[in-house]
Amino acid sequence: MKINLEDYLESKKKIVDAALEGCLSGLSSVPTTLVESVRYSVFAGGKRLRPILCLASAEAVGGDPGAALPAACALEMIHTYSLIHDDLPAMDDDDYRRGKPTNHKVFGEGLAILAGDALLTEAFHLLSEKERFKGVPADRVLRVIREIARAAGPFGMVGGQVVDIQSEGRTVGEETLYFIHSRKTGALITASVRSGAILGDATEAQTHALSQYGRDLGLAFQVADDILNVEGSREVLGKETGSDTRRRKATFPAVVGLETSRRKARELAAHAVVHLEDFDGKAEPLRAIARYMVERKS
């Protein structure tokens, strides 16, 4: 089975965007400026990679992607919160994201912090609404909450960001680089794939294989991102390029060089696909996503 990845990503993005719109339109008794600040960043034109991985993973194990949709939305809300907080002056101090001024540039720092807090909390609120999960048993919904919370918290994303900001301007080795990237980006990407698998009623062996896929994919994604920060175009990326170098951020090109980084990204993407060899054609989107990951221009 060959798929047209562009069409696939586009159709899934529409489903995710509509579901996010549904989640966020329920915020009617919430202060208007908070809703505006939250919506500004959620609908700033993200690729919806994490939610799409979650849905594609449910499909790959023969599950109903509809049952994974609430988790897909929660993952995007958590990803968006992390971008808002990362961009703050006290962290990466970024003025642009996806071609638009960052949240705190538009709404002020206080509201940006609160918009992030709101998105993170609302993600778990969404995950607790069992009736959204199309009959998935409560035990399994709890397992998904656990996966996502662990990946997003001090053991995962938040822990990675701490080491990232502490490493700025310092020379770090490959080990620290892996620590940062596997937690800051890798953990939530792996959790996206695993959540989809769990909600799609995967076997333990399938969930394990998809975790391995997620781990390699997450790292491939980050290496590719680091490369794009060096040689990508500002117009296509919608944010400053070269910023990692100026800030002496811990990146793959900085630590192992650009050529080795390119090879590394290709190897990781190829390796990710190998973990899916026991899956049938339903895993084709996941395979195509892995290949796309290292060829993308934004």
Give residue 140's identity as a one-letter amino acid code.
Answer: R
The answer to whether 171 contacts a second copy (rule: CB under 8 A) is no
The answer to whether 196 contacts a second copy (rule: CB under 8 A) is no
- Range in contact with a second copy (rule: CB under 8 A) among 5-13, 52-60, 139-147, 247-255: 139-147
The answer to whether 247 contacts a second copy (rule: CB under 8 A) is no
Options 7, 29, 235, 278; binder of a second copy; rule CB under 8 A: 29
Shorter beta-carbon distance to a second copy: residue 115 or 273:
115
Q: How many residues bind a second copy (CB under 8 A)?
A: 52
The answer to whether 25 contacts a second copy (rule: CB under 8 A) is no
What the block records as the tokens of 253 is 């090109």
The answer to whether 110 contacts a second copy (rule: CB under 8 A) is yes
Options 33, 171, 203, 260; binder of a second copy; rule CB under 8 A: 33
The answer to whether 138 contacts a second copy (rule: CB under 8 A) is yes
Shorter beta-carbon distance to a second copy: residue 122 or 216:
122
Q: Among residue numbers 42 through 81, which ones bind a second copy (CB under 8 A)?
A: none
Shorter beta-carbon distance to a second copy: residue 28 or 297:
28
Which positions lie near a second copy, rule CB under 8 A? 27, 29-31, 33-35, 38, 85, 88, 90-91, 108-114, 116-118, 120-122, 124-125, 127-130, 137-139, 141-143, 145-146, 149-150, 152-155, 158-159, 161-163, 165-166
